[in-house]
Amino acid sequence: MSAKANYHKIGVFIVLGLVTLIIAIVALSGGKWFKNVVYWESYFDESVQGLAVGSPIKYRGVQVGTVEAIGFVGDIYGEELGKEDLLRYGRYILVRGSVADLSPHLTEEEKKAQHGGRITAGLRVRLASQGVTGVVYLEADYLDAQQYPTLDVPWKPQAVYLPSAPSTVSVLGAALHTIARDLEKADIHTITRNLDSLVLAVTKLVQDTNAQALSSQTGRVLAEFQELAGQTRRLVERPEIRAMVSDAAGTVQGTRQLIADLSEASKHIKTASEQFPGAFSRLERTVQRMDKLMSNKSQDIEDTVENLRVMSENLREITDNAKRYPAQVFLGEPPPRAGATKR
């Protein structure tokens, strides 16, 4: 009976130990097994010294995933590459990582469209080191998409492709290498010799120069300059010069007033010139209407003139008769005589 009881306790202890181990693994993994995870991969044309499986992936300082695998492109996609592509891309380092899926409610097509928009906006991943300890991790951030274009790969990535960008250390190293190469091309020894010769020549010139004579000449020049300044001040203070300046100021003021009057007159001339075409057009229309009226009423006008001429002749005859026979005008013709017979 005691042996069976011991086995029972041992079994319970083992089961409790396994449960505790599973809970510890889940706690240490941060509940990763219960989260939706997105796998992606990127390719680096530089050394990834210090990066290891399990290294963190951070987005602006916040850890969002971990590195899952590191290898060479040639070892994984070598069968899909030709000789030239293998020589070019085989040395690239392939890094795969996993990040939490922040959009589980989207479909696969929607996730691809969203990821493509982020890449177009400049989402890139690059190597970074933490402080002086040298701990290397991957940093994701938005960079200039024109400065860091997407690498067109001739194979089909097995995970979501995330473009990479050169690390800060790599960019700094390339800049230092360029500077060193330019210094190698420059003739440093010749430049140094010329600089030594220049320094010796300047030193000799200073030693040969008579400092005392130079100081005396400088003093005389300053004294002459002070005298010239005094003469200029006395000349400006003379009443004639002041009156001349006052007259010049009055002349300038009058010139300004004249310019203002000319500007006002030019505005009136411009206004009149703008109105002249309209007045000329109205005058032209009036003349056209008069011509049309004259052409339509020419016969009536001729008849009226003829009537006026006849009336004028009749009036002249009446005036002549009045002069010759005034009594006839006022008294009329005498009545016919009584008993007069017609022949």
DSSP bridge pairs for 142: 123
Answer yes or no: is 124 within a domain.
Answer: yes
Distance CA 104, CA 221 (A): 88
63, pLDDT greater than 70? yes
Q: Which range scores top for mean pLDDT: 146-155, 233-242, 330-339?
A: 146-155
Number of neighbours of residue 239 by Cβ within 10 angstroms: 7
SS percent in the chain: helix, strand, coil, step 5? 65, 15, 25
Residues 129 and 183 in one domain: no
Distance CA 97, CA 30 (A): 16
Query: Which tens digits make up the pLDDT trace of 20-41?
Result: 887 777 666 555 555 678 899 9
Query: Which tens digits make up the pLDDT trace of 210-226?
Result: 556 666 777 777 888 78
Residues 39 and 157 in one domain: yes
Residues 191 and 144 in one domain: no
Residues 158 and 189 in one domain: no
45, pLDDT greater than 80? yes
The vertex-96 CA angle with 94 and 97, nearest 5°, equals 150
Rounded to an integer, the average pLDDT of 253-259 is: 76
Answer yes or no: is 106 within a domain.
Answer: yes
> Domain span at residue 180?
167-208
Q: Please identify which residue in the block is written with the tokens 């190293």.
A: 173
CA nearest to 159, candidates 215, 112, 96 = 96
Residues 202 and 114 in one domain: no
88, pLDDT greater than 80? yes
Answer yes or no: is 114 within a domain.
Answer: yes
27 SS3 class: helix
Residues 109 and 183 in one domain: no
Residues 175 and 103 in one domain: no
Q: Residue type at 27?
A: A
Residues 177 and 160 in one domain: no
Q: What SS3 string covers 215-279?
A: HHHHHHHHHHHHHHHHHHHHHHCCHHHHHHHHHHHHHHHHHHHHHHHHHHHHHHHHHHHHHHHHH
Q: What is the pLDDT of residue 214?
A: 62
Rounded to two decimals, what is the model's pTM? 0.47
Residues 57 and 137 in one domain: yes
Q: Which residues contact 140 (CB under 8 A, 6 or more apart)?
A: 57, 58, 59, 64, 123, 124, 125, 162
Distance CA 162, CA 143 (A): 13
Answer yes or no: is 238 within a domain.
Answer: no
Q: What is the pLDDT of residue 132?
A: 56
Rounded to an integer, the average pLDDT of 174-181 is: 71
Residues 154 and 177 in one domain: no
Q: Residue type at 89?
A: Y
Answer yes or no: is 65 within a domain.
Answer: yes
170-191 burial string, b = 16+ CB within 10 Å, else e? Answer: beeeeeeeeeeeeeeeeeeeee
CA nearest to 77, candidates 88, 62, 61, 64 = 88
Answer yes or no: is 64 within a domain.
Answer: yes
Q: What is the pLDDT of residue 28?
A: 61
Residues 139 and 45 in one domain: yes
Distance CA 184, CA 207 (A): 37
Q: How many domains does the chain have?
A: 2
Rounded to an integer, the average pLDDT of 193-197 is: 76
Answer yes or no: is 46 within a domain.
Answer: yes
231, pLDDT greater than 90? no
Rounded to an integer, the average pLDDT of 35-49 is: 88
What percent of the chain shows pLDDT beyond 70?
Answer: 76
Higher-pLDDT residue of 10 and 51 is 51
Answer yes or no: is 306 within a domain.
Answer: no
Strands of the 93-100 sheet, one edge to the other: 123-130, 135-142, 56-59, 62-72, 93-100, 37-44, 160-161
Residues 57 and 171 in one domain: no
Rounded to an integer, the average pLDDT of 286-301 is: 71
Higher-pLDDT residue of 20 and 3 is 20
Tell me which of 149, 165, 181 is where a domain ends: 165
Tell me which of 135, 165, 195 is where a domain ends: 165
Q: What is the pLDDT of residue 77?
A: 92
* Contact predicate 125/44, CB 8 Å: no
**Judging by DSSP bridges, how do beta strands 135-142 and 123-130 pair with one another?**
antiparallel
Q: How confident is the model at residue 131 (pLDDT cuts 50, 70, 90)?
A: low
Rounded to an integer, the average pLDDT of 123-143 is: 84
Q: Residue type at 181?
A: R
Q: What is the pLDDT of residue 13?
A: 77
Computed over every residue of the chain, the mean pLDDT equals 78
Q: What is the pLDDT of residue 71?
A: 93
Query: Which tens digits make up the pLDDT trace of 90-120?
Result: 999 999 999 988 777 888 888 888 888 999 9
